[in-house]
Amino acid sequence: MMQRRICYVSGTRADFGLMQFTLRAIQAHPALRLEIVATGMHLSAAHGNTVREIEGSGLPIRATVPVDMEPATGATMARNIGRMLQAFSTLWEEQPPDIVLLLGDRGEMLAGALAAIHLNIPVAHIHGGERSGTVDEPVRHAITKLAHLHFSATNDARERVVRMGESPQRVWVTGAPGLDGLKELATRSRAELAREAGFDAARPMALFVFHPVLQEADAAGTQACAILDALAAQGVQVMALLPNADAGSEGIRTVLQQRGAGGSLRLATHLPRAEFASWMAAADVMVGNSSAGIIEAATFGTPVVNIGLRQNQRERNANVTDCGAEAAAVDAAVRQALGHGKYPAHNAYGNGATGPRIAQLLADVPLDAALMMKTNAY
């Protein structure tokens, strides 16, 4: 039996972590053959050389595409889309996959969609139809309009993709892939994590993941200061992940590194997925603007203080409190979150069985000429 070759583009520790169970489901499916193109932050020493995590997983890497990480500006981000577009086009022209699989809203995914559609390769897009504001939203919707197959996380997101003119019979609700196996990954206890970090497990602990917003890049460092000040004022111990490589990240990185020499703040360039899940489950509160706070943390009932515009308009679970990036607003939101404690573990983004659904759809969907003739359905 001929296997369909599915090529997934991965650019960050985050997207690979979210997709690992789905990628394993694809690899295990008898009708599918997986290959990965690794690019972006995966190949950066400053961001942990996380391509090694893909290598360690045993999942097959077809190619690596290095791009510049410095300076961390919008211009660098734009130029990298061009570099990736050229590299992906050359790679897939020589040996085209049957489907290019993309997640979310980052530049590497946009480059993958642009290359694939011009090479007449079907594009399957995960997490389309969601709202978030900032540069992520138009990039996500652009990928949706370039894609042929749509795997939405929620009913509302699916309806939005259909209203954008995509054919309803090619839009499925699969749930969020990042929920697959999430509870099972969180194996490390609060006491163990606190001991390793040098924290007191009896005092409040926060997981801090704060990334820059392109439109507010110049203010990112100041915002990080305000958030850390608010947490320190309440005696909260903080495990902080360094930010991604987007414009404004250097300001956040500098603030964290200046404050992270000791005391109640610990820094990590990268937390392996299992350790990240354990921290998310064990923390008293998750603070920042990561999609993990919006989508994944509800699986553990962990209170989330979501700060600023980066996740604006995304569907919320009950555990999320939104606030501005000013110290007073963060202080009030953190107090509320700590006072409430854990929420019931209910997640609107799915039940943790997304990977097998996506793999079966990739195996079954007809790849005919009609699929490639994209027109608005209305």
Give residue limits of the domains in the chain.
4-180+352-372, 188-340
Give the right CATH number for 188-340 from 3.40.50.10470, 3.50.50.60, 3.40.50.2000, 3.30.429.10: 3.40.50.2000
**4-180+352-372 and 188-340, same CATH topology:** yes
Contacts of 331 (CB under 8 A, 6+ apart): 230, 233, 234
Question: Does this model's pTM top 0.75?
Answer: yes
In tens digits, the chain (378 residues) has pLDDT values of 689 999 999 999 999 999 999 999 999 999 999 999 999 999 999 999 999 999 999 999 999 999 999 998 999 999 999 999 999 999 999 999 999 999 999 999 999 999 999 999 999 999 999 998 778 899 999 999 999 999 999 999 999 999 999 999 999 999 999 999 999 999 999 999 999 999 999 999 999 999 999 888 899 999 999 999 999 999 999 999 999 888 899 999 999 999 876 689 999 998 999 999 999 999 999 999 999 999 999 999 999 999 999 998 899 999 999 999 999 999 999 999 999 999 999 999 999 999 999 999 999 999 999 999 999 998
Give the per-residue pLDDT at 51: 96
Taking only the tens place, the pLDDT of each residue in 96-107 is 999 999 999 999
Taking only the tens place, the pLDDT of each residue in 263-281 is 899 999 989 999 999 999 9
Give the right CATH number for 4-180+352-372 from 2.40.160.10, 3.30.360.10, 3.40.50.2000, 3.40.50.1100: 3.40.50.2000
